Chains A and B, each alone.
Chain A
Amino acid sequence: MMASSYNAKEDDGHPSVATGHGGAGTVKNKKPDNTAFKQQRLPAWQPILTAGTVLPAFFVIGLIFIPIGIGLFVTSNNIKEFEIDYTGVDISSPCFNCSQNYIWNSTTPCTCTLPFKLEQPFESNVFMYYGLSNFYQNHRRYVKSRDDSQLNGDQTSLKNPSKECEPYRTSDNRPIAPCGAIANSLFNDTLELFYIDPNGSKNAIPLVKKGIAWWTDKNVKFRNPGGNDNLTVVFKDTSKPVNWRKPVYELDPLDSGNNGFINEDFIVWMRTAALPTFRKLYRIIQKKTNNMTPTLPRGDYILEVTYNYPVRSFEGRKRMILSTISWMGGKNPFLGIAYITVGSVCFFLGIVLLIIHHKYGNRNNSADIPN
């Protein structure tokens, strides 16, 4: 490059300009390379979207989507689901009393019993959920109000929880474990299910509490602070969340693998729901070992609720849901219907395009007369 040119050219950052005069310095001339890339002649596919080219796509989409939709719809319809609201809004509701006189720290639990009837038997594993409505677990500040390090068993975080947990960070000058609003508002109703035999006897249905949390949560994300198997010692210097009746190490005193931070009910609660109406897995009713009888036969049942969780103040609702699941998850006819609709629409549009193609397509191909 020509040097010493303190002119505007140099400053533009155009080396090509600076070499433009006087001498290129080399024998090589400045003829641009004749490559496909530099001359913008890369082989390319030119998708031109006309009725003619697009209509096969529409038919194909229609033909694929409609069967999928039907499949989804059928699958969804095969799922058995039962839902019962036990908030106790109505005076007639058995839980009305419990919902009325609510105190967080009441020592005498209020229980209510709700009878219900399953019209159809539930085959295979049945999942028992509790559902909350109008409960904004996705509120920004609520979502933030936790300390993942603490829940991961980090000792320093245990002693000194994240600021995000405020105002549920400390109580009585001791760090709260687990800290934060999410943990503080842990769902604490107890649900029990009884099958009323045709002969009138009341059989408790075994509810499995293992496996309701995600494997990764249970095994990776949530950990009790290490060093000691005795959780009482571990959580010695911490305080329980203010709304809780018992400390975290007493969540499941019977099973050490389900106690403390790795309590599955706790873990499930800590995974905040996306929408204000949500359900959370509570228990699993496992398929009977003999395949003869359904997991939940048709008949009468009783739901016994230890009513602890107040939702009336913000017009929330509580439900108990029993559901089987399929490969598509829970019961949701929407997707099937949507697939069928979209598929049909595509098919219909395909036909419309076909007509248009016949009407205009030829004109475009043969006559080039500009209009």
Chain B
Amino acid sequence: MEQIHWVRHRCRRLASSRSVRGFYSAPSSQHSERSPELHSTQQLSGKRRTVVARHGPRQHEYHSVSKGCQGNSIRTTKYSLLTFIPMNLFQQFHRLANLYFLFLVMLNWVPVVEAFQKEITMIPLVVVLIIIAIKDALEDYRRYRFDRRINNNIATVYSGKYQRYVDQHWKDVCVGDFVRLSFNEIIPADMLLLYSSDPHGVCYIETANLDGETNLKQRQVVRDLPQQGSEFTPENFHSHIECESPNNDLIRFRGYMEHPNKKRVGLHNNNLLLRSCTIRNTETVIGIVVYAGHETKAMMNNSGPRYKRSKLERRLNVDVLWSVVLLVIMCLTGAVGHALWLWNLKDALFQIPDTVSPALAGFYMFWTMIIVLQVLIPISLYVSIEVVKLCQIFFIQNDKDFYDENLDSRIECRALNITEDLGQIQYVFSDKTGTLTENKMVFCRCTIAGVEYPHEENARRLEVYEQEEVEAVDRSHTLKSHTSAKSLSCKSLSCNRSSVSLHTLTGDAEDEEAPSPNVLPHNAFSSPMEKDVVPDPLLLQKLNCLYSPLFLLRDASLELTYIVDFFMALAICNTVVVSSPNQPRYVVKVPEVSPTKLKSLDDIKMLFQRFGLPRFSTLSPAQATESSHSFTRSLFARGKAPSFNLSPTPVDKGTVAGGEPGAQAITSIKPGLNVARGEHGDQGYEEEDDEEDERRQDVNGVEDNVVILNSGALTGLDNSNKAPGSPGEPSEDELIYEAESPDEAALVHAARVYGCTLRGRSVDHLLVELPGMGSLPVRLLHILPFDSTRKRMSVVVRHPLTNQVVVYTKGADSVIMDLAKSAEGADQSDYMQGHIREQTQKHLDSYAREGLRTLCIAKKVLEENEYESWLKHHVFAETSIENREELLLESALKLETNITLLGATGIVDRLQEEVPETIEALQKAGVKVWVLTGDKQETAINIACACKLLRSTDQLLTANCGSKEMCKALIFELRKEVERRELECGEANEGTSGFTLVVDGRTLEFALEDDLKDGFLELSRRCRAVICCRSTPLQKSQVVRLVQDQLRVMTLAIGDGANDVSMIQVADVGIGISGQEGMQAVMSSDFAISRFKHLRKLLLVHGHWCYTRLANMILYFFYKNVMYVNLLFWYQFFCGFSGSVMSNSWVLIFFNLLFTSTPPLIYGILDKDVSAETLMMLPELYISGQNSKAYLPSTFWLTMLDAFYQSLVCFFIPYFAYAGSDADLLSFGSPVNASALFIILIHQVIESHTLTWLHALVLVGSALFYFSFTLVFSVVCVTCSPPTNPLGVDTLQMSQPLFYGVCALTTVLALLPRLLFHALHNSISPSDTLRATLMEQVNPKEYCRRMQNWNQDQSKAKSLVVPVEDSALTVPD
């Protein structure tokens, strides 16, 4: 958990911070750099917060201390009943479009410029405001109801009045309250955990409500509480708590608790129960509220939806500005015209006498014209675009091809306004693990102590699984068995839950009871494929030697030590949580061992019995006992080289028949014990002696017993070892591991196969079953969690057998190998180390070539004094409030030195289905695919080959260099090389060469520096694909940003893990894969899909559609507005530029608002230029979107020109038809309006690619609406709409044949050029899209044939210019 949070945290920082450079440098400087930022926020409300118990003994302080703290009631609503109208209006007028409307309305109130009736200009504004206000109100009401429900939840809070816990509403909970929560209850506020019914003082919480992660997290009672152990009594709580002011950092909490005796205890995130998480697996917990209501971390993390501006919208805004320019020009024309006209006019009868000079009148006219021509700015476009995008998202979300049966998930569209960007992607940056691959890690092979164990059986098994999947064998029933086990455990949980007070629980319950095969928990990582590892026979044989003492005679004991240590590390060096279906999770109890040390005689006896007993039957009892456990001790004493030869006590009994090596091993018994004695003091020593005697007796006594015991499976759980507190005997196979990352789970499963089983975990103990030794409690001293700087994690444990402090480290090979190198010396073990390292490196390389993920395992034995000095530092680091992270990092670095390499593992991560096809399609579509991975180079290249990113013809350019100068030279050289090759092929088309650049993290770091990045970019631009391996999350985002900013291209980042978050956030389109690694990527993404293959349809089909639809709709909107507004403009030339209009003002306003608003929407939502099948089959069609073919500046101006032409026709044909006649103002306007409507509607029919009944309905409906509206209006409107009273006008006009004659001629003439243009263009040089559409229209057989032809032609064209591929991809213009 921690490491993911950590990475996420960093990513978030990265995304929010502008100073990228800071994160680039050493980790220590990062922290110092970001702390000022934190402080500044803290200082606003005082840097710290003090909390004392509300009803405790320090009640008198309470009010003064918690004055500034908020209550727990929350209000997420934006408005209240009273403030809704003003607040909402205020919010709405933040939009520029609405301000423009408002400006126009106000302008119309100025008498000298008034163009229309005052009410009429308000209509558009009012309509828009009301629609949005209703939407806001509904949303707010939903939030309000939600708040109310939340606020009225019941929590059990300690009441000072009644001296007991009483039920209270959540909203009444205050800071300083003691809250008691039981199992499955939701935490009402951020609380410090003070008491847990768990004997180890831990409790588990599920944070699904917070971050969607379903795995449980462990929380710990504040250490050193005086009343620990007994039931917590609030009256006795005298301490006060100092902690930081509320902030939104979910993963950090710093503070201390000061007890009355002035003793301070550090508080950290592990003590904090976060609001809206759920308590699991713990009967009762009690906590004190530190943050309530809006100050809780959950609420402070509550951020609004994502807002990104799409490329199309940016383009659109430019054209809106052009419209503004046009508007100003037109208004200026009007103003100047009016002034001149007035100048020449004297004493006209029709002139209203006033004293305004022509110039001033012209100035007024400018504003009047703005009102009259306001529609030119397509304000309604913004609303329409939003509607269209919502509908597009609806369709995307409802696409059944994006439905994943296994996860029961659809695509999630989290960003609402960048659908069309999907159609313009030029670069795809993909994570590897979990994105291209399944992220279902399967242990594949390993190398221990320099010996490789290929696990051939296992590999075969994996193939079988693969085949099964290929044959589409439904895995769901294998899954079902798994999930049923899972739900069983849930049921057992739910049956003893006491208070079902919250809706979440009911939801859960339903889910549990539903026998749904589709519910696969995200974080289980335990499909049978991952679980069942077939052990390698050789390794198994070696391990079995642990049971057979004869083996001790051979010289392999050192290797065996390594092997056991290796599996021990696999089993414990992780954060895996164990549960079993028959029991509530995590209650697998550790045998009752006193939390500190093996003190009592009984304990030690038990311990020895535990690993001593089973082997008796094979040897003579006495010898066997001695040798076996002395041997096991020797195993763990290894690495503590000095003690080898110094064994002070000679072996008394254990002289095993046979050679010296065995004896040597046995000599190390005593040193091991000595260490223990050193700790326990003399008494311990005596005890030990006693104990040994006793044991010998025991051995003799229980011999027959032993035989029975031994008949059990080797790996079986010994009854005598059973923890007293676990009555339900979980059978072997029913342990469930819940891991943070699939690697961990895979390793634990692998270790288990070899008898090294992780059986349970508590806060300071692990229960591990070792081969031949049964279950042993391992005291867990520290976990140094994984982070991406160190690239490793470590656990510090006290070894159960040797009692030494041992550090097990697991991490990336590069790091571990480096650390292991530092051990120098000449003695045997060092020689051994060198050999192991050499061999391991060899194996690692071969693993990587096979595309396996590699991890190195190492260990270190600490001297007691060494440990103690380190511990001091570490405790200091843990308890410090400031700079805790840095100190912890430092402390970890200090510990992880001089480690002994044990071996390495190779984990296979299979490619997701259809990944090669998807990548191929994307490349065909002109999208460059970059893979950014943290894996090592060989692995990355291998995967790239597997997913066809790399083709056999491609030339690989690798860039690995150690210094900046080298990097510079290399980039230069590679560029030369690429250019030379391009020249050779005679094709200089950029990006079409068959080069693939492979860069490692270090080189990338140099390449991303300012002076090299241009060269790097130039190089990578010429490559068909780029693979960045060993890259950090930060580098990933830097690469994306670099490409995006410098090349000005549209980028898409896709990833599944927390390490991809930054890149997802940086890219134009971020896609998260809701896979195995939690929800971080999904939470920060714009779209969340479940498989990589969905990307293909998402981009090629939906992206293409969304883009073309929206682009066409926007163009159409511009056209429509310009066309209509120009009619009014032309009229100005015939009314003395007086701002007069020839239509009824209602019709004028409604023309855009009602009569012609729905058809473009339908057009934008439903238009389909090419069918989905064809788009999928011909990825080349995507290129038109990349090049913004549908909406180029030229298209815009052509459209404008056409609009001008059409408006000219639409105005002047009626003009000439009515010139000199007795037609009045409105009678003239009537045919103009009607023909404009026809032209606009039929124009859309011409532009549409598909027409469904919905189109027909809307188009005909719009026309009918217009006519019925005008007719009805002209009948009923007797005195309304004063200057332009329509009474009788339209009824009269529409009864005259001239009207229709004019309309028909106008419509035909106006649309003629466009029709002709389309016909000619489509006939003479049809676009690819059109040819694809034409292909669809022939019969299916023919269609297939042509499709083949097309693809063949494409490949033919490609093969002509081998190896420069894809040259045929460029669209012929």
* Chain A interface residues toward B at CB < 8 A: 1-14, 16-17, 20-27, 29-34, 38-40, 42-55, 57, 61, 65, 68, 72, 129, 131, 135-149, 152, 154, 162, 164, 167, 181, 185, 214-217, 220-221, 271-281, 309-311, 313-314, 316, 327-330, 332, 334-335, 338-339, 342, 345-346, 349, 353, 356-357, 360-361, 364-365, 368-371
Given A7-B298, A24-B408, A32-B399, the answer on whether A47 and B1251 have CB atoms closer than 8 Å is yes
CB-defined contacts of A144 to chain B, threshold 8 Å: 1282-1283
Q: Does B197 contact A (CB under 8 A)?
A: no
Partner of B1136, one of A139, A217, A360: A139
A55 to chain B: closest residue by CB:
B1319
Is B301's CB within 8 Å of the partner chain A? yes
- Report the bound CA distance from A2 to B1224 in whole Å: 65
Which residues of A lie under 8 Å from residue B347 when comparing CB positions? 313-314
A142 touches B350 (CB 8 A): yes
A353 CA to B1324 CA, complexed, in Å: 11
Majority SS at the chain A contact face: loop
Q: Does B115 contact A (CB under 8 A)?
A: yes
- Mark the stretch among B624-632, B879-887, B1285-1293 that contacts chain A: B1285-1293
CB distance from B58 to the nearest CB of A (A): 31
**Residue contact A3 to B412, C-beta cutoff 8 Å:** no
B1319 pairs with A142, CB closer than 8 A = no
Residue-wise, chain B 1291-1329 has the 8 Å CB interface mask toward A (1 for contact) of 110001110011001001100100110111011111010
Among A6, A328, A364, contact of B1331 (Cβ-Cβ < 8 Å): A364
A4 touches B1219 (CB 8 A): no
- A329 neighbours in B (Cβ, 8 Å): 1221, 1296, 1298
Contacts of B1354 in A (CB 8 A): 370
Closest-CB distance, B986 to chain A (whole angstroms): 20
Q: A221-B1285, A345-B1312 are contacts. A4–B209 as well, Cβ < 8 Å?
A: yes
Contact B352 A145 (CB under 8 A): yes
Q: Which of B614-622, B702-710, B731-739, B1242-1250 contacts A (4 or more CB under 8 A)?
A: B1242-1250
> In B15-41, which residues have CB < 8 Å from any A CB?
none
A42 CA / B1166 CA spacing, docked (Å): 9
Give B180-231 interface residues, CB cut-off 8 Å to A.
186, 208-212, 214
Instruction: List B512-541 residues whose CB lies under 8 Å from chain A.
Output: 512, 514, 516, 518-519, 522
Interface residues of B (CB under 8 A from A): 74, 76, 115, 139, 146, 149-150, 153, 186, 208-212, 214, 275-276, 298-299, 301-306, 345-354, 368, 395, 397-400, 402-403, 405, 408-410, 412-414, 502-504, 507-508, 510-512, 514, 516, 518-519, 522, 1074, 1079, 1083, 1105, 1134-1136, 1138-1140, 1142, 1166, 1168, 1172, 1213, 1215-1229, 1245-1246, 1248-1254, 1278-1279, 1282-1285, 1287-1288, 1291-1292, 1296-1298, 1301-1302, 1305, 1308-1309, 1312, 1315-1316, 1318-1320, 1322-1326, 1328, 1330-1331, 1333-1337, 1346, 1349-1350, 1353-1354, 1357, 1368, 1372
In the complex, residue of chain B having the shortest beta-carbon distance to the beta carbon of A134? B348
Q: Which 8 A-B pairs have the closest CB atoms?
A: A23-B511, A216-B1288, A274-B1228, A44-B1250, A314-B348, A140-B1140, A51-B1323, A140-B1138
- A296→B1139 CA distance, assembly (Å): 42
Q: Are A138 and B301 in contact (CB under 8 A)?
A: no
Q: Is the CB of A6 within 8 A of B350?
A: no
CB-CB under 8 A from B1308, the residues of chain A are: 61, 65, 342, 346
**Given A310-B349, A356-B1323, A368-B1335, are A220 and B398 also a contact pair (CB < 8 Å)?**
no
Contact indicator B350/A48 (Cβ below 8 Å)? no
Task: Specify the chain B residue showing the minimal Cβ separation from A131.
Answer: B1220
Which chain A residues lie closer than 8 Å to B149 at the CB level? Answer: 3
Residues of A within 8 A of B1083 (CB): 8-9
In the complex, 12 of the A-B residue pairs with CB atoms within 8 angstroms, ordered by the A residue number, are A8-B303, A25-B510, A25-B511, A43-B1253, A136-B1138, A140-B1135, A273-B1222, A275-B1218, A330-B1221, A334-B1216, A338-B1216, A356-B1320
Contact partner, A143, options B150, B302, B1225, B1279, Cβ 8 Å: B1225
A370 touches B1372 (CB 8 A): yes
The residue that B1324 contacts in the complex, of A34, A47, A274, A356, with Cβ under 8 A, is: A356
Least Cβ distance of A28 to chain B in Å? 10
Q: Which residues of B contact A364 (CB under 8 A)?
A: 1323, 1326, 1331, 1334
Of B504, B1135, B1284, B1331, which is within 8 A of A4 by CB?
A: B504
Q: Is the CB–CB distance between B1221 and A339 below 8 Å?
A: no
Partner of A7, one of B302, B368, B519, B1216: B302
A170 CA to B1306 CA in the complex, in Å?
45
Given known contacts A21-B522, A24-B408, A129 and B1222 CB-to-CB distance under 8 angstroms: yes
Contact between chains at B1305 and A342 (CB < 8 Å): yes
- Contacting residues, chain A, for B397 (C-beta < 8 A): 16, 32
Task: Evaluate whether A281 and B1222 lie within 8 angstroms (CB atoms) in the complex, with A221-B1278, A342-B1309 already known.
Answer: yes
User: Given the known A-B contacts A32-B403, A44-B1168, are A4 and B502 also in contact in the complex, defined by CB atoms under 8 Å?
Assistant: yes
Query: Does A369 contact B1353, Cβ atoms closer than 8 Å?
Result: yes
A7 & B305 in contact (Cβ 8 Å cutoff): no
CB distance from B1104 to the nearest CB of A (A): 12
* A185 & B350 in contact (Cβ 8 Å cutoff): yes
Q: Is the CB of B1246 within 8 A of A48?
A: no
Tell me which residues across on chain A come within 8 A of B1250, comparing CB atoms.
44-46
Distance A51 CA – B1325 CA, assembled complex (angstroms): 12
Closest to A154 in B: B1279
Q: Which residue of A lies closest to B1101 (CB)?
A: A40
Query: A21–B414 contact, CB under 8 A?
Result: no
Contact A27 B398 (CB under 8 A): no
Bound Cα distance from A164 to B503, whole angstroms = 64
Q: Say whether A357 contacts B1323, CB under 8 Å.
A: yes
Cβ–Cβ contact A38 & B395, under 8 A = yes
Is the pair B1254, A51 in contact by a Cβ cutoff of 8 Å?
Answer: no
A168 to B675, CA, bound (A): 116
Name the one of B522, B1279, B1335 contacting A149, with C-beta atoms under 8 angstroms: B1279
A140 touches B115 (CB 8 A): yes
Chain B positions within 8 Å of A164 at CB level: 1282-1283
Our pick among A135, A162, A338 for the contact of B349 (Cβ within 8 Å) is A135
Bound together, the chains give a CA A140 to CA B1220 distance in angstroms of 20
Q: Closest approach, in angstroms, between the C-beta of A368 and any C-beta of chain B?
A: 5
Interface residue from B276, B302, B1297 paired with A8 (Cβ < 8 Å) = B302
Contact B1140 A314 (CB under 8 A): no
Which residues from chain A contact B1330 at a C-beta distance below 8 Å?
48
Q: How far does the alpha carbon of A162 sit from the alpha carbon of B395 in the complex, in Å?
A: 54
Assuming the contacts A47-B1245, A72-B1301, asked whether A275 and B414 have C-beta atoms less than 8 A apart, the reply is no
Report the separation of the CA atoms of residues A216 and B1224 in the bound assembly, to the nearest whole angstrom.
14
Quick check: A327 and B1297 within 8 Å, CB to CB?
yes
CA distance A54 to B1319 in the complex (A): 7
Closest Cβ–Cβ distance, residue B1303 to chain A (whole Å): 12
CB neighbours of B299 from chain A (8 A): 6
Chain B: CB-nearest residue to A44: B1250
Smallest Cβ-Cβ distance to B1171: which chain A residue: A41
Taking a contact as CB atoms under 8 Å apart, the answer to whether A46 and B1337 are in contact is: yes
Determine the chain A residues whose CB is within 8 A of the CB of B1316 once the complex forms.
54, 349, 353
Partner of A52, one of B348, B412, B1298, B1323: B1323
- Taken together as a complex, chains A and B put the C-alpha atoms of A23 and B516 apart, in Å, by 10
A334 to B1217, CA, bound (A): 6
Shortest Cβ gap from B1274 to chain A (Å) = 8
Instruction: Kindly provide the distance from the CB of B152 to the nearest chain A CB, expressed in whole angstroms.
Output: 12
CB-contact partner of B1220 in A14, A137, A217, A279, under 8 A: A279
CA distance A39 to B510 in the complex (A): 30
Q: Once the chains bind, are B302 and A279 in contact (CB under 8 Å)?
A: no
Query: Which residue of the partner chain A has the closest CB to B1280?
Result: A148
Residues in chain B near residue A330, CB distance under 8 A: 1221-1222
- Alpha-carbon distance A274/B1214, docked complex (angstroms): 11
Residues from chain B with a CB closer than 8 A to the CB of A129 are 1222
A3–B1368 alpha-carbon span in the complex (Å): 53
What is the bound-complex CA distance between A220 and B1336, given in angstroms? 59
**Could you tell me if B514 and A27 are in contact, using CB atoms closer than 8 angstroms?**
yes
Minimum C-beta distance from A174 to chain B (A): 19
**A26 CA / B1222 CA spacing, docked (Å):** 71
